[in-house]
Amino acid sequence: MSSSSQDEAALSTFEGLRQFLNELDSTDTADNGVDLLLAREEETNSDEVAYDFKRIKLGDDIAPELETLVREKVENKAEAYENDSIRFDSYSLENRDRDETLLQYEDVENIPQFQHFDRLLQGQRFQHTSYEEPPKPEFQAIRLRDEDDEDVAIAFLNYRRSQILGRKSWIRMKTGGSDTHRKVDESILSIPDRVDAVYYDDTMFIFDQNKFEKVFDYLEEYRRRADDVINHLEESDIPFQDFELFKDAIHGNNKVLRLMYKVHERGAYENMTPDDAEYIRENFETDVKFEENEDGNMEVMMDNKLDIFAVLRFFNDDHVDSPITDEQYVSLSKRDA
């Protein structure tokens, strides 16, 4: 399917999501079910992440508010797209570097470990929990189902401990009539005025890329991809002055791990040779450091861990020759043409 066809199909699904949420607005919420779910990481013997889902008890006045929150955030994105305020595009890590506001979409088959979320899609009821029950939640989800229990939309929100207000306060207060402050004995919980991603009909619509990646633990996926690249480079013909420093710089920085994901996806590193290092050194004013070793080959050199960003620009093929001006550029947010 072409990129244009994929966009059209995803837009049609997004319109289906809008219609589904608007139909819920005229349905008795108590009949269709609105669940606020917390996900906590389970301890397993596998390297994959698994989640334990439990449900927050909701009063009759809260469920409609959660439904309205999801509907309004979807409508806001839809109106922004119709007004050309945002761009609709398929999900890509490269989109972090773009200077546009995006509404992104992704087929759930492409989301790492999405199979662990199947129970959310099946209308399964979960045991009750509370926000203060240990361990801390990894994320929260608002699940909306129609009255026939056949259609479902799920909004995902990254969790922050600041949602529990007054956890460590000696005195907790709230304002009452005439702005009078009154003591509150219990902790106060808040749901943020945002939605980070919404699932509908096998498609994830991404409102906040950073928080979406946190919810679905992309960082673990970045680590796996980074190890693939490291293992390949360790066996490649391109020598490093200090390969251990190179590895330490990658594993110790989440931003670098994201860059390594880009390197892995582009795959240019798989065919690089010492001649490529020689070409970059001779033709570009670059901060990538190369030094000739005793064998006469150009060796990748790092003075400290901060040099990793320049090194990855080399392995991500960020050095570009212009066919028009014969000028050389560093392009950090390339798009295939």
Q: What is the pLDDT of residues 286-319, one digit of tens each?
A: 777 878 778 777 788 899 999 998 888 888 877 6
pTM above threshold 0.85: no
51-69 residue pLDDT tens: 899 999 988 889 999 999 9
Residue 168: its pLDDT value, please? 63
Residue 31: its pLDDT value, please? 47
Residue 46: its pLDDT value, please? 63
143-179 residue pLDDT tens: 999 877 778 999 999 998 888 876 566 677 777 777 7
Percent of the chain with pLDDT over 70: 88
Is residue 156 a contact partner of residue 139, using CB atoms and an 8 Å limit?
Answer: yes
Of 24-28, 108-112, 124-128, 248-252, least confident by mean pLDDT is 24-28
Residue 115 identity? Q
Residue 15 identity? E
Is residue 257 a contact partner of residue 219, using CB atoms and an 8 Å limit?
Answer: yes
Residue 86: its pLDDT value, please? 94
